[in-house]
Every structure is written in structure tokens, then in C-alpha cells.
Amino acid sequence: MGVALLALSLVAICVLVGLARRSSRLPLPPGPKPRPIVGNIFDMPTVRPWEKYHEWCKTFDSDIICVQIPMRSIVILGSYQAAVDLLDQKSQIYSDRIRFVVVEMMSWDFNFGSLRYGPRWRAHRQMLRQHLRPPHEYAGIQMKEARAFLRAVLETPRDTRKHLSEDRSHVATIKIAGEGLSKAVIPGAYLVEFFPILRHIPSWVPGTTARKLANEYAPHVRKLRDAPFLEVKAAYNQGKAPASMATDMIEHIRNKFAGTPQESEYEQIAMNVVGATYAASADTTTSASESFLLAMALYPEVQKKAQSELDRIIGSDRLPTPADAENIPLIRAIAMETLRWMPVTPFGVPHATSADDVYKGYHIPKGSSIVPNIWAMLHNADDYPEPDTFRPDRFIGQSGEIDPNVRDPTLIAFGFGRRGCPGKQFAISTLCIYIASVLHVFDIAAGVDDDGKPVRLTPEMDGAMLANPLEVPCGLTPRSEAAARLIRDA
């Protein structure tokens, strides 16, 4: 009787929500026809969802699509202009986040990127902005890490993919926790998102996919949140902590709030920010780095051209520095094309509306989930002819510099509005020095697997919110003995 009553209550809620949605005189944006009660829940893609979103936009000849699920509308933005019009120009009502129940169940709700728009989110964002230094202040660390990667690949090139994500102590935690988050935020994938009461059903009950998923990933997420900050804090207390964003935060909190109730409050904010930033930068940098290697193996002519440019400007007696990378337009263009060709977050992190809105004559209800199809925007043939082809030259003008008339893909790849990635410039500079360093000393080819068979490379992505190439080249060989010596001496 209790289960039947619960089911009837849920149906009644869905009907009432559906009626409320239709109360506007304006139509919702076009989209696949919803079924009674459940809407489009069974139409929602869980594998390479960005492709299905793009297909819907073409089917309905619209750059704004609406799919309806119980309790919510999901509005998909298929063009750069639509994303700018709404997420940038109307950021005051398009900066919220939908509550992701599975994210909470996994303990990922410490991540300020998923916080609702409001005072708590602003406190976290302010903490990060206050202590995130300008990119040039990280140049030494970026160069050091790039050269450590070169040495590791020189020793064991077959482990290239492993070396890209190697972080000595926390790599496994980051990888597993990030994998969980990527699965947790797929729009429409879990029934518990529509009926949060289902989160209390134990994992042994058949069909409780979300609970099983949360139980699997939550321990790794909590370790990711706590361990990096607590290690730095312990080292700081012993006077042994190197300069970092975390030590800056700890010192600031001690100086301003020591002995007050605010000290523990701001320490928790700092822990959240450090954990979230650490995870985001590690996963996204790894993804972009893998995509670059794949592109170089699939497009050897681009590789050779970049190597010639590096040889001409840097010579053969030293390794590149961050300043070199910034002064070689082709390196910047390769970084831009890497982010465009295989975007790290193909559909971003969904925004949410905090008020009703009207766009192009369509009603966008308050509480809608807004999904920018970043992959589709970066593969728009009007902006980027032959979008499936890796062509860095598309960004180089007649002067030999970056062409401002070609849309910069970093305006799209790092998100929109007030929810855009605050570490954008740091990420770009890190990718550039990595690209310059690898190309200067290695020739990049597919390589062979553990069985001695050639690695089959394909420009396909795997994943959900965060995407990676299916395969990564492992045939990296020094360009010369002089190049090998540079790596060993670095």
C-alpha cells in the first residue's frame, strides 16, 4: 500500500509540474515529443550525448532544443550565439546549478563548480580568485613538470598514457573520483534525480543504479577532497610547505581569523577549493595532453611543421621555456586546435535558470537545466571549415600571428558567463609549454601495444562530462641523440 501511494504521489507531482510548464502562453523550444508522465526520460543519451544533442538540433532546425523529464526541462544550446545570448548576456539568471542528487550521494557536492548560485558559491569563488596567481608565476612549476614527463617517456615510452596522469601520490584517487563525477552529471541518466526520495533505497534493491554508483565512488571523492589540503596544512605547521595556492590560503586564514569561529569555516572553504581545483586541473590537463599526442600521430605534417619552427627559434642546444611557447604562434595555434578538435568537456557543466525567460519567442521555465553543446559549437563548419580535420593553420593569419578574425575556441571550451573556468589562462599556458617541450625532442607515432601490435588510433572520444581519446600514441622516440641528452640533463 505504501509503495502504491508513493507511486501515485510521484505521478501526481509530475502531472502538476507538467501543467505548470504549459501555463505560459509561449511554447517551449522544439524537441522530441515527450511521453505522458515520463516525458523524454527514455530518449536521453548516456553514450556520447553531445552527438545526439547535435542531431536533435539538425532534426528540428533550431539551435535551441528542449527535452522534458519529470520535474524539469532540459534546454540544449547548439550554437555559440545562443550560449552568449543566454549564459553571458543574461548571466544574472543563467548562473545557477541544478541539484544533482547523485553528485551529493557521491560527496562531490564539496566542488564549488556544482554549488547553487549564491553566497556560498561566491565565497568559494572569491577564495580561488584571491589566491590563484597569474600564469607567469607558475612558469617554473609548469616547466619542471613538462620536463619530468619528457624523462619518464624517454625511459618507458610504452607507458606514455600513464605518465600523462602520473602525480605520484594522488593520481589514482583523482582518476577514479573524476570518473564518478563524469558519470553522475549525465542529464537524465538516473531516476533518483527526478525523485530524490529514491536515494534512501538501499543498494541491494534491484534497479538502484545511482546508489551502487555512489557507494563505489564516494570514498575516493572524500579522499580527494581532504588529502591534498591536509598534507599541505601538516607541512605548513612544520614550516616545510613550499609556496602554493594552498599555503597562501592557509596563511591568509591564520593571519585574519586565527582563534575565531571563522577560522574553521574558511579552512573548510579552502579545503573544498583546493580539492576541486586539484581534481579539475589534473583531469582536464591530462585529457588535452592525450588529444594533442593523438593529433600529432594522425597528422604528421603538422608535427613536422611545428618541429621546424621550434628548431628555427630555439635551436638544438636547449629545451623550450614558457616564454618560448608564448612567442611561437604555431604552438599557441596547436593548443587552440587541440581544445577545439577534441574538447575536454563536450557539453560543459549544465547551468540552470533562476527565473523564467523568453528567447526567440520560446518560453524557458525557471529551474530549467541549460546544456551548452560545446562539442557542436567547436565543430561548426561555418566557424571552422572541415571541423573534423586537425588544422592549426586555421588560426594563423597572413601576418604569421594568431588571426583575430577566427573565433578563438577557448571562448567556448572553458565555459560561459559567471560559471566559466577561472583557471583558463593557467590551463592554456600549461598546455602550450607541454606541447612545445614534447615536439622539440620527440617524434610522435602510434607505437605498439603490449603484444607488439600497432596501436590503432582513432579520433573518437570516450566519456561523458569529461572526454578522452580512446587510444593514445606510445611511439615517442627522441628526434636525435642530442635531443635525448637534453631530456636526460633537464
Cell of 431: 598546455
SS3 state of residue 264: helix
Q: What's the distance, CA 455 to chain centroid?
A: 26
Q: Phi and psi of 447, rounded to 5°? A: 80, -175
User: Judging by beta carbons within 10 Å of its beta carbon (0-12, 13-18, 19+), is residue 18 exposed, middle or buried?
Assistant: middle
Contact 111, 97 (CB under 8 A): no
The residue type found at 20 is A
Q: Report how far residue 281's alpha carbon sits from residue 111's, in angstroms, rounded to the nearest whole number.
A: 13
Q: Report how far residue 343's alpha carbon sits from residue 41's, in angstroms, rounded to the nearest whole number.
A: 26
Residues 6+ away with beta carbon under 8 Å from 169: none
Q: What b/e sequence results for 146-179 when a residue is b if at least 16 CB atoms lie within 10 Å of its CB, and e otherwise?
A: bbebbebbbeebeebbebbbeeeebeebbbbbbb
CB atoms within 10 A of CB 294: 26
Q: Report how far residue 48's alpha carbon sits from residue 432's, in angstroms, rounded to the nearest whole number.
A: 28
Sign of CA dihedral 398, 399, 401, 407: negative
Among 303, 289, 343, residue whose Cα is nearest residue 164: 289
3-state helix, strand, coil in the chain (%, to 5): 55, 10, 35
The residue type found at 15 is V
Lookup result for grid cell 609548469: 142
Contact 475, 444 (CB under 8 A): yes
SS3 state of residue 352: strand
432 among annotated binding-site residues: no
Residues 6+ away with beta carbon under 8 Å from 433: 139, 142, 143, 146, 320, 321, 322, 325
User: Judging by beta carbons within 10 Å of its beta carbon (0-12, 13-18, 19+), is residue 45 exposed, middle or buried?
Assistant: middle
Decide the pairing of beta strands 467-469 and 461-463.
antiparallel
The CA-based angle 100-101-107, given to 5 degrees, is 95
Can you say which residues are annotated as belonging to the binding site for heme?
Answer: 421
Can you say which residues are annotated as belonging to the binding site?
Answer: 421
